[in-house]
Amino acid sequence: MITYTVSADKKTVIKTETNKLMDGVTIPASDFKKIQADWQMATGDTIQAKGSTNIATSIQLYGVESAL
């Protein structure tokens, strides 16, 4: 079991609790957690994930690039 915090680091806003997409969500071993966020990102913005342990895990992110 691992607990994750996933947040969007947008260069144009101050870091706050509202930047967190997932905060302290526990995921059992061999399971997954799907989250969907309507979050627009710009060049230089990042997604950061932090787990509660050093257990080997993987995080997959999907998105769509649009021309504004």
Between 67 and 9, residue with greater pLDDT:
9
Examine residue 27 and state whether it is found in any structural domain, yes or no: yes
For residue 23, is pLDDT > 60?
yes
| pLDDT for res 14 | 62
Cα torsion angle, 36, 39, 40, 43, sign: negative
The domain of 37 spans: 2-51
Examine residue 63 and state whether it is found in any structural domain, yes or no: no
Examine residue 64 and state whether it is found in any structural domain, yes or no: no
Please check whether residue 8 is in contact with residue 19, taking contact to mean a CB–CB distance below 8 angstroms. yes
Per-residue pLDDT tens digits for 25-50? 888 888 888 877 777 777 788 888 88
Examine residue 20 and state whether it is found in any structural domain, yes or no: yes
For residue 20, is pLDDT > 70?
yes
**Residue given tokens 């998105």 in the structure block:** 63
Q: Which of 1, 45, 9, 52 is nearest to 27 (CA)?
A: 1
**Residue given tokens 């504004």 in the structure block:** 68
Examine residue 61 and state whether it is found in any structural domain, yes or no: no
End-to-end CA distance of the chain: 40
Indicate the number of domains in the chain: 1
| pLDDT for res 12 | 64
